[in-house]
């Protein structure tokens, strides 16, 4: 394990927390990525289309630009495209059913001491642990 792994997590967490605070300060809204992306599809919420597109562009573009300047740490993403598609769809459905995602409930909600967000976060983290354990036990995920 890389001795700097903890620093990457710390820096990333600080950046996400700062972005959430800035988003709330300037927009008066919670920075929930699933709600922002979902609003592009179903036109829900008060945010404008341009605001949503700019948010997503920054979400994708900032790491891409950073990767051109710095050597980013390696990730372990599966090469099973079907698994990624199914997982993405399940996450999308789950965030809509749960009315939020890790950024909305986990970062913004918990920092506001929202009981609903704390319970939601415990449920989706627990579900994630159960799904990974089942996938590894059945050989779907190695």
Q: pLDDT tens digit string along 111-140?
A: 888 898 899 889 888 988 998 899 889 887
Determine the straight-line distance between the first and last CA of the chain, rounded to whole angstroms.
19
From 66, 60, 56, select the one nearest 8 (Cα to Cα): 66
Question: Rounded distance, CA 132 to CA 116, Å?
Answer: 24
- The per-residue pLDDT for 2 is 64
Predicted local confidence at residue 130, as pLDDT: 92
3-state secondary structure of 110: helix
Helix (H, G, I), strand (E, B) or coil at 75: coil
Q: Which two tokens stand for residue 119?
A: 């319970």
Q: Per-residue pLDDT tens for 58-68?
A: 888 988 898 89
Percent of the chain residues past pLDDT 90, beyond the cut: 6
For residue 46, is pLDDT > 80? no
Work out the average pLDDT over 80-95. Answer: 82
């Amino acid at each position: 394990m890389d001795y700097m792994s903890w620093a990457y997590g710390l820096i990333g967490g600080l950046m996400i927390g700062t972005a959430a605070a800035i988003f709330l300060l300037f927009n008066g809204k919670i920075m929930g990525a699933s709600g922002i992306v979902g609003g592009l599809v179903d036109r829900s919420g008060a945010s404008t289309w341009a605001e949503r597109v700019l948010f997503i562009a920054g979400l994708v573009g900032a790491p891409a630009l950073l990767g051109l300047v710095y050597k980013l740490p390696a990730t372990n993403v599966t090469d099973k495209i079907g698994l990624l598609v199914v997982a993405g769809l399940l996450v999308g459905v789950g965030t809509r059913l749960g009315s939020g995602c890790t950024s909305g409930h986990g970062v913004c909600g918990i920092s506001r001491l929202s009981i609903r967000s704390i319970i939601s976060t415990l449920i989706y983290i627990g579900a994630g642990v159960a799904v990974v354990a089942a996938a590894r036990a059945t050989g779907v995920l190695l």
